[in-house]
Amino acid sequence: MKGSHVPLNYHPEKLKRELKPFYIGADDKDITEMLKTLGLSNLEDLYAHIDDSVKMMTVPMDKHMSYEELIAHVNDVAAKNKQKISFLGDGLPQYKVTDVVGPVCDIRGLTTAYTPYQPERSQGTLQTLWIYQSLISQLTGFEAINASLYDRSTCLYEAMNCALRLVKDSTTIVVANTLYPGDLEVLETHARETEMKIVRAPVSAQTGKLDIDALKRILNTTPQIAAVAFPQVNNLGNIEAVDEIVDLCSTNNIKSIAVVDPMLLGKGGLKAPVKFGTRLQGADMVVAEGQHLAIGPNFGGPGLGIFGIRYNEQDKISIRSTAGRFVGKAQDLKGRECKALILSTREQHIRREKATSNICSNQSFVATIAGASMLARGDEGFEETLKTARAHAEKAVEALTSFEGVELKFKGSAFFNEFTLKLPVNTKEFISKATKEGFQVGVDVSNRHTEITGENLLLISFSDIHTDKHIDSLIAFFGKEFQKTKNGTAAPKIQSVMLQIDAPEIPKHSTKEIIEYYQRLGKQNLSPDDGIYPLGSCTMKYNPYINDYAASLPGFTNIHPEAPVEDAQGCLEILFEIQEQFKAITGLPGVVTQGVAGAQGELIGLKMFQAYHRDRGEGDQRNVLIIPRSAHGTNPATATMAGYQTKVVDGQVYGIYTVEALPNGEMNLNQIKEFLKTDGHRVAGVMVTNPNTAGIFETQFKEMSALIHAVGGLVYMDGANMNAIAGILDLNKLGVDAVHNNLHKTWTIPHGGGGPGDAIVGVSHRLLDFIPGVQIVKKDGMFDITRAPKSCGSFHRHFGNFAHKIRAYTYIKALGADGVRKMSQVAVLSARYLHQRLAKSFPCLPAEANSNPRMHEFILTLSPETFKKVEASGTPKANTIARIGKLFLDFGFHAPTVAFPEQFGLMIEPTETYSKKELDQFSGVVETILKLVTEHPEVLKTVPHFTPIDRVDEVAANKNPVFAEKIGKHLPDIIPDRVDNEKLRNSTPADLCEHILKTHQNSL
Ligand SMILES: Cc1ncc(COP(=O)(O)O)c(C=O)c1O
């Protein structure tokens, strides 16, 4: 290995799963034995029930790389990026990353755990999110902060939708043109073909701030306005007249949505949004990008969408209309204080098409490290950071405007640490010269506003990453280009009404203290490292360390998404290659890399469908989407978000048309055929998960696609279950037009306790022209950026969760053509083997589908007799499955997916990560659980028994929700495990049964 490569910070040989070929747990002997048990002779036989006409025989991809080759390769790609002194900011500023970030990112219990739906075994994640919510609450003053949304732009869109729900009979949101252009494009893309109308409020050419008179005119003349969305610091660096804007909203009885930079709300910074308005009445909602609180620019992602809403004596209702997860204070049945997810009856998994949003995976782990970083900074750290940024900006503005022809563009408008200069030369050429001299000198904003034209404008941003030397060298660079002829302009004074009123009182903790605290929290969760994490549909497989290593290379993390393409060749290579990888894997000719989660991938797909139909003049006519009843909640929620409102008018269905399942577990194709006969001309498309959520392959998928295409519709495949079919099935042959690949499932990026996810969307030739965002092309050995000719817009300001693309890319390079196929095959083999074993003792669902082979997952249930026994012992049938899920926690495992897609089902997905021995042991545990429930059903009343807390009283937590506490020097208490989780795994199931029974007796 070359000496210049960044050393690994772990020992792969000491890790149980890191060096296994293709990260597959079963060795050849295991595979042979499992095949034999199933009566199969080879891995191909697992797919014998699927028609060969839809298969791919090889994946058109290179051979896999060895571990050593991979380390060298990712370092080489990272080295192709040029790290320069950067003054880019433009809504994604770069600040120092605190010392706690690296170590917290290494806590596998936090990075690899699933969304904390089982609070008794997820207090670790819940506490980190609680700290995040509480600290952001302290910074902004808002009482309720959610546990994160994707990024600023989509978060703002959710806030705008929330406003429409809150203001009766409203249709319109006024959006300041002084928000970042990339954000504005995302808003327009989302709003197209929905009921939301966006009216843009212009900038004033004189002040470089929102034109307040124009805003007043809009408010006076536009009907049905719900809200005004505006920034505190705008896209020219100027501080907006936030008090006036909020006053106008209050007077007009509409909502104010403030978009802020959370860093600038630290001690010594700008006024908190809760105090905006001359009466300090505060904005109604706050939205922000928080990526830079936690991590470097990472070529634009993962971001962190911060959202907050008021929750106080005057308003306890608005929160019910918001999007996203909230962590709340809760108590367990014994009165121990703990945390749990609350208000989930607004969310897609419960409310489906009536949900307030389609969001499922969020940016949980970025929120976790943002919380840890805020503790590391504390008020003092924030103050120091802001002083440094401000001092650099003050020094630079005065020095740079002393050069001939260089002016501060908006002399009367205050800024904090970012300002717009007018240059005497073409800005693009100036930036290009600076690039050659080692600077990313700023962003060209000459054409940002139609009201301000014909000038050469440069937006420059300063922060604590800059040293005095950097500022001096910037000034020296200007000195080489221009003559020093005048006295410079001093930074305009920031009016006191714009400045902070009270410090947020963020406590500062030592690096050691924070790391130890988060490590203890990590132990309260489970990780797929330790053993089977059987959550069906979630593909909780091993997340290789080398992926994180690659993503953490400074050559990647320090690159700003607006860096000139010649400085970002390494990042662009990753994006180009991942496009190629997913073309090979899906068999489809196009790839979109913007999606940051499965649900967003779905939305991207549907928005492309709409653009396609619009282009053919059928935009209005195609108003129905066909979706099976067993679909994940995100599918119907996404359909609504895209603009397919479900209703029945004069007996005709609009929006979602629901398809039922056949007894064999597959969708009812005849029902679809009947519908197409009468309504085919109205069908925009279908959304079908394949293999479906019962783990069954839809063998009639190809036929269905042909029928849908014949009536002019399009086919969306929910690819959450690609782990069963990647490299085996050709989605082009299946007739798929769009499919999302959840990188946080099949493609091994860590789930992060709820996110960030990522979704790469494959598209057919029909949709190539409508691809949103940018595409990376290779010309003369260089990577460049282009856009599709009829692009449907943009879903991310940049390239999605870029750091996750590196992880998936690294994984796929480790698999190569053979590995991708084998991964899927062994995932199916493991599931089918386990299913066969467990089907001997458990009834399976769907009840009449026993002869239909399972793919990557399967659903168990109880016999009617067992349900009756349990009910007789005092646990109602409706609660039984959830309680059995909690019994898994007593054996050291995570619960399977409970009550989805079958109300009385336990869905188990083992993945390919585990050896036969581990599968056998797990199978033994599941059988023991059945025996225990059959012989002692009463234990379900007190489950779980060994987690830090007893069962959580979620009803009480939802009644009087509490979203934050004042975090001080004493961090929230951590309740220890009653029995160490590792000890549970190392105990025999029989011993544990005994222990459970004793504990049950004692707790009565
Ligand atoms: C079948 C299916 N579709 C869609 C999703 C949504 O994906 P995400 O959570 O990444 O938004 C999931 C997530 O669990 C899923 O299982």
Q: How confident is the model at residue 864 (pLDDT cuts 50, 70, 90)?
A: very high
Measuring CA to CA, which residue among 807, 601, 756, 773 is closest to residue 291?
Answer: 756
Q: Which pLDDT score, from 0 to 100, does residue 570 have? A: 98
Strand ranges of the sheet holding 759-763, from the earlier edge strand across to the other edge: 590-592, 759-763, 738-742, 714-718, 683-689, 624-628, 652-659, 647-649
**In b/e form, how buried is each residue of 59-83, taking b as 16+ CB within 10 angstroms?**
bebeebbeeeebbbbbbebbbbbbb
Q: Which pLDDT score, from 0 to 100, does residue 4 have? A: 77
The rounded distance, in Å, linking the Cα atoms of 909 and 73 is 33
**In b/e form, how buried is each residue of 549-571, taking b as 16+ CB within 10 angstroms?**
bbbbbebbbbbbbbbbeebbbbb
| Residue of 148, 358, 360 best suited for mutating to test ligand 1, as the one with most atoms within 8 Å of CB | 360
Average pLDDT over residues 607-622: 97
Q: Is the pLDDT of residue 933 over 80?
A: yes
Query: Helix crossing, 669-679 with 701-710: angle to 10°?
Result: 0
Give 1002's contacts (C-beta < 8 A, 6+ positions apart): none
Q: Which pLDDT score, from 0 to 100, does residue 321 have? A: 96
Distance of CA 406 to the CA centre of its chain: 42
Average pLDDT over residues 840-851: 95
The rounded distance, in Å, linking the Cα atoms of 373 and 381 is 10
Q: Is the pLDDT of residue 914 over 90?
A: yes
pTM of the predicted model, to two decimals? 0.97
- CA 742 to centroid of ligand 1, rounded, Å: 7
- Whether the upstream peptide bond of residue 424 has omega within 30° of 0, thus cis, is no
Q: How confident is the model at residue 169 (pLDDT cuts 50, 70, 90)?
A: very high
The rounded distance, in Å, linking the Cα atoms of 133 and 655 is 35
pLDDT tens column, 937-976: 999 999 999 999 999 999 999 999 999 999 999 999 999 9
3-state secondary structure 819-871: HHHHHHHHHHHHHHHHHHHHCCCCCEECCCCCCCCECCCEEECCCHHHHHHHH
Q: Token pair of 1003, please?
A: 């707790």
- CA 631 to centroid of ligand 1, rounded, Å: 10
pLDDT tens column, 587-610: 999 999 999 999 999 999 999 999
Q: Token pair of 97, please?
A: 């990353």
Largest CA-CA distance found in the chain, in angstroms, rounded = 93
Element (H, E) at 45: none
Q: What 3-state class would DSSP assign to 716?
A: strand
Q: Which residue has the higher pLDDT, 282 or 345?
A: 282
Q: Is the pLDDT of residue 2 over 60?
A: no
Q: What is the mean pLDDT of the chain?
A: 97
Q: What is the gyration radius of the CA atoms in the chain, in angstroms?
A: 28
- Phi first, then psi, for residue 841 (nearest 5°) are -110, -25
Q: In ligand 1, which atom is closest to the CA atom of 631?
A: 1
The rounded distance, in Å, linking the Cα atoms of 796 and 182 is 8
| Torsion angle in degrees (nearest 10) through CA of 18, 20, 26, 28 | 180
3-state secondary structure 387-399: HHHHHHHHHHHHH
- CA 754 to centroid of ligand 1, rounded, Å: 11
Residue 197 is classified by DSSP as E
The rounded distance, in Å, linking the Cα atoms of 778 and 761 is 20
pLDDT tens column, 755-786: 999 999 999 999 999 999 999 999 999 999 99
Nearest residue by C-alpha to atom 8 in ligand 1: 598
Q: Which pLDDT score, from 0 to 100, does residue 11 have? A: 97
CB 667 within 8 A of CB 704: yes
pLDDT tens column, 178-203: 999 999 999 999 999 999 999 999 99
Q: In ligand 1, which atom is closest to the CA atom of 693?
A: 1
Q: In ligand 1, which atom is closest to the CA atom of 600?
A: 11
pLDDT tens column, 21-47: 999 999 999 999 999 999 999 999 999
Sign of the dihedral through C-alpha 709, 711, 714, 716: negative
The rounded distance, in Å, linking the Cα atoms of 439 and 433 is 9
Protein residues whose CB sits closer than 6 Å to any atom of ligand 1: 360-361, 537-538, 597-599, 632, 634, 689, 693, 718, 720, 742, 757
Q: What 3-state class would DSSP assign to 338?
A: strand
pLDDT tens column, 423-439: 999 999 999 999 999 99
Element (H, E) at 775: strand 774-779
Average pLDDT over residues 466-486: 97
CB 523 within 8 A of CB 787: no
Measuring CA to CA, which residue among 949, 562, 581 is closest to residue 774?
Answer: 562
Query: Helix crossing, 916-935 with 802-838: angle to 10°?
Result: 60
Average pLDDT over residues 852-857: 96
| Residue of 117, 150, 361, 909 best suited for mutating to test ligand 1, as the one with most atoms within 8 Å of CB | 361
DSSP 596-653: -SHHHHHHHHHHHHHHHHHHTT-TTT--EEEEETTS-THHHHHHHHHT---EEETTEE
Place of tokens 């503790």: 375
Q: What 3-state class would DSSP assign to 920?
A: helix
Alpha helices in 498-562 (DSSP H): 511-522, 545-551, 554-557
Alpha helices in 193-308 (DSSP H): 212-221, 242-251, 291-294
Q: Which pLDDT score, from 0 to 100, does residue 1 have? A: 43
Q: How confident is the model at residue 1004 (pLDDT cuts 50, 70, 90)?
A: confident
Measuring CA to CA, which residue among 54, 178, 211, 17 is closest to residue 587?
Answer: 54
Average pLDDT over residues 895-917: 96
| Residue of 742, 804, 898, 911 best suited for mutating to test ligand 1, as the one with most atoms within 8 Å of CB | 742
Q: What's the angle, vertex CA 35, arms to CA 741 and CA 723, rounded to 5?
A: 5
Strand ranges of the sheet holding 255-260, from the earlier edge strand across to the other edge: 144-145, 305-309, 285-289, 255-260, 225-231, 172-176, 197-201
- CA 757 to centroid of ligand 1, rounded, Å: 9
Measuring CA to CA, which residue among 417, 496, 459, 410 is closest to residue 95?
Answer: 417
Q: How confident is the model at residue 370 (pLDDT cuts 50, 70, 90)?
A: very high
Q: Is the pLDDT of residue 390 over 60?
A: yes
| Bridge partners for 860 per DSSP | 844, 906
Share of the chain above pLDDT 70, in %: 100
| Bridge partners for 423 per DSSP | 456
Measuring CA to CA, which residue among 163, 144, 154, 191 is closest to residue 256?
Answer: 163
The rounded distance, in Å, linking the Cα atoms of 972 and 327 is 14
| Bridge partners for 238 per DSSP | 415
Measuring CA to CA, which residue among 704, 706, 698, 801 is closest to residue 747?
Answer: 801
Q: Token pair of 446, please?
A: 């000459």
